[in-house]
Structure 1
């Protein structure tokens, strides 16, 4: 007993050291949370069922068309890659721990596990679509083959980051054609020696969506609650989980008839690993004296449980068809709802296309009006510039004519002045000539009066 306590304390200390390191500077994650937290927190939202293959599994009380990683949630990008943010109050656990598988009696059921991940899905891309499907029990990173086609969800790439991504899912009948055009996305994020499928990279998302993709910071919550986005943070409850030896649901249902059965916490419970199945139960300190005796008792009890389960299954196969009829009714109801959703989605698509067409028409009309207004403004500006040029040309012509007239008047004045000057010069010359011609006769008359002597002056 002391040895087991020491081992558990050592494991707790180791997990405490590992949980203190995260890809982002967040608060330390809660440690030493056992599977009992899953059993207690999820019980109000569904049924815990005992199965021989996986032990206790959980079937949620949800709508008939529920599918994990598809219903009521959307993708965001964190440091771990594409992370599923669920709108369910219980979504913190089944979409980040464990695996999902489809059961013929109960639909989608969840197998709990202790390892946290952003989303345990396989990714594909191609043909303008992204696709993902939940990993089943036993499927790990790199080992995810033979996933049924109807488990895949495909969405046009431009809507992968939409908060209402569920409005754009491709109809399931198209999965065959879409799947054949896609290839696996092998992007893996490694942290603390753990590998996570991260899905499409941020650069690719920004290229296909033609928008900036926000990388959210994970903020660790300290109590189970719905995942929420606040600003650039996504608040997630993701404790470090350790499987306890005495963990069990308070009420367990039978796999086929859904009737609760009594749970003896002192009895060994089915487990996915042989080591856990052989672990002694010491809740009431009633362990047997030897390990061999405990193993033999466990083997006998497991054989009894398997025989009981096989007997119930044979009875159901022989005569009980009520569950099959109920399942058929559920499938018919699911198909009707799926068809209704498909019709609603088609109507929404048509309405969206009409709105987009009306918006494009409005934008085209607006652009045409803007271009017409711009053309008219440019035309008015050109006409105004032409009128201004004509006015300037007329002003230059007027100034030129005025200057020309002034030059002509000046030339005429100069010519008139030159003519007057010439006339004055000619008159002066004529006067000089007349004076010269009249001077000898005057001198001769004077000499005659003076007796032939020259006159004295």
Structure 2
């Protein structure tokens, strides 16, 4: 059994909503030629990897990592050598479902709302595909001077510590990644800040964290809150707060 098949237990069987989105954009959904990294025998119709392949292939490379399976690695010529997911090439805006990363890239709706990220030392940041939607798959920490977020890894894996911190005065800026504090300050900020937000149950049973409320951020920053356009989660029923999981 190949690496992808052994990890199918992590993936969601229903990807109809994502297929609909891609079909509307004119993307092919069949399991034929996926590119040099993936053969048609390695994927099945409806799997998360086939849903996103045509969208992301022009902007990076699909590769098979032994511990993870098929992942997508963004091209440094597209995202920059110091790319960090949920930081580079976008900003945080408030949505009906929590803080969501508004990407500057037209393909950003895929890897910043679906799937998870992990940082492999020999490769860099790679994206693991999944068909479950969230405003952002991240965890949050803050105090009244700093705020931090870290991508959530694929189920059962760890990415160690990969926190992005910015001052509260910089949190709402466009290109928020340009204002990250130096990595060597992260350990001190981890001790200084506290977890914030509550776990929200997705339609298929996963959890995301919406982060601090927009009212709290407005109070601390004294800045207008940028708002996302009204959105409805495309995968299943509206999410709900998970009882007993508040931080």
Could you state the TM-score of these two structures normalised by the residue count of structure 2?
Answer: 0.69
Aligned residue among 190, 193, 197 for 2:209: 197
The number of residue pairs the alignment matches comes to 195
Task: Determine the structure 1 residue equivalent to 2:244.
Answer: none
2:115 maps to 1:115:
no
The 3-state SS of whatever aligns with 1:218 is coil
Task: Determine the structure 2 residue equivalent to 1:232.
Answer: none
Task: Determine the structure 2 residue equivalent to 1:181.
Answer: 192
Q: Retained in 1: the 8 A contact 2:172–2:226?
A: no
Q: How does 1:300-311 map to 2 (within 5 A)?
A: none
Task: Determine the structure 2 residue equivalent to 1:125.
Answer: 142
Identify, as 1 or 2, the structure richer in helix. 1
**Whole-angstrom CA distance in 1 between matches of 2:113 and 2:121:** 24
Alignment deviations for residues 377-428 of structure 1 (CA, whole Å, 9 cap, x no partner): xxxxxxxxxxxxxxxxxxxxxxxxxxxxxxxxxxxxxxxxxxxxxxxxxxxx
Aligned residue among 74, 93, 111 for 1:60: 74
Q: Retained in 1: the 8 A contact 2:88–2:175?
A: no
Report deviation, 1:160.
1.5
Q: How does 1:14-29 map to 2 (within 5 A)?
A: none
- Greater CA drift, 201-210 or 154-163: 154-163
**Whole-angstrom CA distance in 1 between matches of 2:129 and 2:62:** 11
Report deviation, 1:218.
3.3
Report deviation, 1:45.
1.0
Could you state the TM-score of these two structures normalised by the residue count of structure 1?
Answer: 0.39
Task: Determine the structure 2 residue equivalent to 1:298.
Answer: none
Change (3 A) 1:135 1:191: closer
Task: Determine the structure 1 residue equivalent to 2:110.
Answer: 93
Report deviation, 1:84.
0.5
**Whole-angstrom CA distance in 1 between matches of 2:22 and 2:115:** 17
**Whole-angstrom CA distance in 2 between matches of 1:115 and 1:196:** 11
Change (3 A) 1:31 1:93: closer
**Whole-angstrom CA distance in 1 between matches of 2:148 and 2:139:** 8
The 3-state SS of whatever aligns with 2:114 is coil
Report deviation, 1:103.
1.7
Report deviation, 1:217.
2.8
**Whole-angstrom CA distance in 2 between matches of 1:69 and 1:160:** 12
Structure 2 runs not aligned, ≥5 long: 1-12, 24-28, 30-45, 237-247
**Whole-angstrom CA distance in 2 between matches of 1:185 and 1:199:** 6
Larger radius of gyration: 1
Identify, as 1 or 2, the structure richer in strand. 2
- Greater CA drift, 181-190 or 118-127: 181-190
**Whole-angstrom CA distance in 2 between matches of 1:31 and 1:57:** 19
**Whole-angstrom CA distance in 2 between matches of 1:193 and 1:137:** 15
**Whole-angstrom CA distance in 1 between matches of 2:55 and 2:22:** 17
